[in-house]
A and B are shown apart, each in its own frame.
Chain A
Amino acid sequence: MINAELLRKDFPILEKDFGGSRLVYLDNAATSQKPKQVINAIVEYYSSYNANIHRGIYKIANKATEAYVSSKEKVAGFINAEGIENIVYVRNTTEAINLVALTYGAKSVKKGDHILISEMEHHSNLVPWQLLAKAKGAILDYVKLDSKDERLDMDDFESKINKNPKIVAITQVSNVLGTINDVERITKIAHEYGATVLVDGAQSVPHMKVDVKKMDCDFLAFSGHKMLGPTGIGVLYGKKEILEHMEPLFGGGDMIAEVTKKSSTWNDLPWKFEAGTSNIEGGVGFGAAIDYLKKISIDEIFEYEKKLTKYALEKLKSIYGIEIFGPKDCVDRSSVISFGIPGVHPHDVAQVFDSYNIAIRAGHHCAMPLVNEVLNRGAVSRMSFYFYNTKEDIDKAVYAIEKVKELFKIR
């Protein structure tokens, strides 16, 4: 069982006094807060073994290399990957997806080919494919959403997979709707049609058990900073046989085996894709983040957040005049809730929340086609939870909504 009150004590920012009140942080889909274990790991690295990794002969260089490599082992274990050969460190989810589009995508997609994504994609899993389609003269198709509960329309998916897309790129969890997509089923069908599958795990890996072997996806992209780690470190998981045949995106130090004036050969996986000095502090901090998550168990996190989300949905549904986007129940749903108060602009909602020291996000959440063209809104407000949030946090958010309604005379 998760004891959020106890775990919160590990997070200095959640314990901090903001002029008499504590921060109610409900913007976890944007980035998570960091526990002292992660902050301390980074401080420890810089104060006791800061050195560049690989090929160092001296002790602290070995220690830094070991810490960096072991963080990849932890990540591999966390998502049930074979090993560190599958784990390429990048800056974030966006960079991971761009890497695939610019290397694997650029080589395999030809003029007239199809690429299949969905209407609920974050710009990070949309714009790279749009660019690729444009460059190659390929066609970008979107799986529609079911108008009733804003889940993927699987009939539409089946009809579009018939066009034999080269690549299918789908998010596992929507950062706006909170919908959990059945990526296992999608991957299975896509593979039957010969497509390569990339799963955007930015909103899933931090909150639920993700098993790349079970899912059988070819690529998985996610970010460290949404799961307690520092910013600037993210992961591209890829199947070994696919990564082996991919050309590197960047050339430089560390990614080579041998260089002559005429040509070069590439280093082993995953280093082939990591040119130049790595984000060592990022790797070290991310390793500490995975340790922390493993200690409290990802399955427990999922169950706890499910309870919180159920509580929040019930509370929100009881407020007159509020609209909730995405699934209204807790089936295949994560802890992201977007909502609107008709008559009040989401930015005004977020501003009033801030006056009670409650952090939520308002806008298009980097999913403009979804918000503008599917939900038909200019913007929506969003609260998103993590395991350190409590029912009390939700009560405060509900109180803030009542205050918004009062201020704007909504009845």
Chain B
Amino acid sequence: MEENLYAENIIMLYENPHNKKVIQNADTMFHATNPICGDDIRIYLKIKNGKIEDVGFDGEGCAISTASASLITDSIKGKSITEVEKMGAKDVIRLLHVDPGPARIKCAMLPMKAVLSALFLYDQKQKK
């Protein structure tokens, strides 16, 4: 586990985020904000046969939330919905290689929450 929150991988992902794109015909999306710090993220998911076929995000955020969004979106691509729904803070910390601590964990978790909320909306839609 890294000591330094701003290790090279996090700065790199902040500057060159992965999967930063709007998916126009997404099957589900969610807009999550953290009004306290001004982080603002939209997650777009394409779903096929119960699996995440494609994922994109956009918005404005700090280095932690942006790097976290890159790593989470990389990680969930190709996974089944049920696998993704089991993900939580532990998985996000593992992906970041650093525990951001109590003050910043909400930044790291914002994209994860957005993914889970988007999947929740997708489930609701399927049930109808």
Q: How far is the CA of A378 from the CA of B60 in the complex (A)?
A: 9
Instruction: Kindly supply a per-residue 1/0 record for chain A positions 315-354, scoring 1 wherever the CB is within 8 Å of any chain B CB and 0 otherwise.
Output: 0000000000000000000000000000011111001100
B89 interfacial contact with A, CB 8 Å: no
Interface members, chain B 1-43 (any A CB < 8 Å): 4-6, 11, 14-15, 35-40
Is A250 close to B, CB under 8 A?
A: no
Considering only CB atoms and an 8 Å cut-off, how many residues of chain B contact the other chain? 19
Residue ID in chain A nearest B65 by CB atoms: A345
Q: Does B109 sit at the interface, judged by CB under 8 A?
A: no
Q: How far is the CA of A377 from the CA of B39 in the complex (A)?
A: 11
Contact A377 B64 (CB under 8 A): no
The residues of B that contact A409 with a CB separation of less than 8 Å are 11, 15
CB pair B6–A347 under 8 Å, yes or no, is: no
| Bound CA span A378–B62, Å | 11
- Smallest CB separation, A409 vs chain B (Å): 7
A contact residues around B38 at 8 Å (CB): 345-346, 363-364, 372, 377-379
Q: Are B6 and A352 in contact (CB under 8 A)?
A: yes
Sorting the interface of chain A by its residue count into under 10, 10 to 19, 20 to 34 or 35 or more gives: 10 to 19
Given contacts A378-B39, A378-B60, A407-B6, contact A347 B14 (CB under 8 A): no
User: Could you say which residues of chain A place their CB within 8 Å of the CB of B14?
Assistant: 408
A362 CB–B CB distance under 8 Å: yes
Q: A344-B63, A347-B64, A352-B6 are in contact. List 6 more A-B contacts (CB 8 A).
A: A345-B38, A347-B62, A364-B36, A377-B38, A378-B37, A408-B63
Which of B5, B6, B39, B64 has most chain A Cβ within 10 Å? B6
* Residue contact A347 to B60, C-beta cutoff 8 Å: no
CA distance A135 to B107 in the complex (A): 36
Determine whether the beta carbon of A348 is less than 8 Å from that of B15: no
26 contacts across the A-B interface (CB closer than 8 A): A344-B63, A345-B37, A345-B38, A345-B39, A345-B61, A345-B62, A346-B37, A347-B37, A347-B64, A347-B104, A348-B6, A348-B63, A351-B6, A352-B6, A355-B5, A363-B36, A364-B35, A364-B38, A372-B38, A378-B39, A378-B40, A378-B60, A407-B11, A408-B14, A408-B63, A409-B11
Number of residue pairs spanning A and B whose beta carbons lie under 8 angstroms apart = 50
Which 3 A-B pairs have CB atoms at the shortest separation, nearest pair first?
A378-B38, A345-B62, A379-B38
Residues of A within 8 A of B36 (CB): 363-364
With known contacts A378-B60, A408-B11, A409-B15, A368–B35 Cβ distance under 8 A: yes
Q: How far is the CA of A24 from the CA of B48 in the complex (A)?
A: 54
The smallest beta-carbon distance between B67 and chain A, in angstroms, is: 10
A409 and B37 alpha carbons, distance in the complex (Å) = 22
Contacting residues, chain A, for B104 (C-beta < 8 A): 347, 351
Taking CB atoms, residues of chain B closer than 8 Å to A378 are 37-40, 60
* B-binding residues in A (CB < 8 A): 344-348, 351-352, 355, 362-364, 368, 372, 377-379, 407-409
Residues of B with C-beta under 8 A to A348: 6, 62-64
Neighbour of A379 across the interface among B4, B5, B11, B37, CB < 8 A: B37
Q: Which of B34-70 contact A (CB under 8 A)?
A: 35-40, 60-64
Interface centre among B11, B38, B39, B63 (most CB of A within 10 A): B38
* Contacting residues, chain A, for B5 (C-beta < 8 A): 351, 355
Contact partner, A347, options B4, B11, B35, B107, Cβ 8 Å? B107
Chain A residue nearest in CB terms to B33: A378
- In the assembled complex, which residues on chain B have CB atoms less than 8 Å from the CB atom of A377? 38
Instruction: Report the minimum CB–CB distance from B70 to chain A (whole Å).
Output: 15
Cα-based distance from A377 to B5 in the complex (angstroms): 24
A407 to B6, CA, bound (A): 8
Give, as a whole number of angstroms, the nearest-CB distance from B91 to chain A.
Answer: 22
A225 to B125, CA, bound (A): 51
B58-87 Cβ-contact flags toward A at 8 Å (1 or 0): 001111100000000000000000000000
- B97 CB, nearest partner CB in chain A, Å: 16
CA gap between A409 and B5 in the complex, in Å: 16
Is the pair B15, A345 in contact by a Cβ cutoff of 8 Å?
A: no
Closest approach, in angstroms, between the C-beta of A357 and any C-beta of chain B?
A: 15
Most buried by A among B4, B11, B62: B62
CB distance from B88 to the nearest CB of A (A): 22
Query: Which A residues are CB-close (under 8 A) to B107?
Result: 347
Q: How far is the CB of B2 from chain A (nearest CB, A)?
A: 13
Q: How far is the CB of B109 from chain A (nearest CB, A)?
A: 14
Q: How far is the CB of B4 from chain A (nearest CB, A)?
A: 8
Q: Which residue of B lies closest to A352 (CB)?
A: B6
- Nearest Cβ on chain B to A298's Cβ, whole angstroms: 33
Complexed CA–CA distance, A352 and B104 (Å): 12
User: Which residues of B are found within 8 Å of A344, using beta-carbon distances?
Assistant: 63
